[in-house]
Amino acid sequence: MRVVSLDAFKESLVEELGNKVAFTVPVLGGVPVAESVVVTWIVMAALIALALALTRRLSVDRPGKVQCALEWTVEFLNGFTKNNMGAHGPDFAPYLGTISLYILLCNIIGIFGLVPPTKDLNVTAALAIMSAVLSYGARFRYHGLRGGLKKFMEPMPLLLPINLMEVVIRPLALCMRLFGNILGAFIIMELIKMMAPAVVPVPFSIYFDRFDGGIQAVVFVFLTALFVGEGIKEEE
């Protein structure tokens, strides 16, 4: 077993937890680009390449196995959104599907030796703000300005202060839940890597990088669907 001094261990852990700068763009005095941004670009490129590869041979007459699997996935996502969000749910299926794939790949990208972007609080905050804007934007879209404002007083006007607080609490909960779980898993893996032989972290990596990463993606998407559904459910 490796023997690591406490001070060296603390310094190494703090260094790993920091959001490192990948490079600096030489404009306006230098614009730093964080490592999480670069990994996000990699994730986006991988998803775009995957989408192009899976959809380049679609056929109406003779759908292949891949196309059938894709169609089943789309139908499942449409059914999930309709059951949990109402008749307008499928309108939000593309966003929920995209964000689920992005978060999933970000969470499991550690198995390729890259730092998960969701370990960066800025990334999870941006995702949470996007979901909050979608939630309240859908509320006003389907209920109008007056109806959207009226929903802040449901189920009774006495709850108006609490409903207004939820405008901040909901995205904060989404942000910190995702960030905390991914950061916690990252810290545990770093502890194991520093204190145990190289072969020991393998089963833990399977859990934290794949299983737990998938769970967090599902939880984030499910809560987003729940929040949006609450805002538009009376439009049926």
Question: What pLDDT is stored for residue 162 in this prediction?
Answer: 84
Alpha-helical regions (H) of the chain: 6-17, 35-55, 65-85, 93-108, 121-150, 160-195, 201-205, 212-232
Low-confidence ranges of the chain (pLDDT < 70): 1-19, 22, 193, 196-210, 234-236
Taking the model in full, what pTM does it have? 0.79
Helix axes 93-108, 35-55, angle to 10 degrees: 120
Measured distance CA(9)–CA(5) in Å, rounded: 6
Query: Mapping DSSP to helix (H, G, I), strand (E, B) and coil, where does residue 23 land?
Result: strand
**Percentage of the chain surpassing pLDDT 90?**
8
Question: What pLDDT is stored for residue 67 in this prediction?
Answer: 83
Mean pLDDT, the chain, integer: 80
Q: Sort residue 28 into left (φ over 0), alpha (ψ -120 to 50) or beta.
A: left
In this structure, the number of other CB atoms found within 10 A of the CB of residue 182 comes to 26
Question: What pLDDT is stored for residue 236 in this prediction?
Answer: 44
Quick: pLDDT tens for 33-79. 888 888 899 999 999 998 888 888 777 777 788 888 888 888 998 88
Sign of the four-CA dihedral 218, 224, 228, 233: positive
On whether the CB atoms of residues 57 and 64 are closer than 8 A, the answer is yes
Residue with tokens 């964080």: 34
The full length of the chain comes to 236
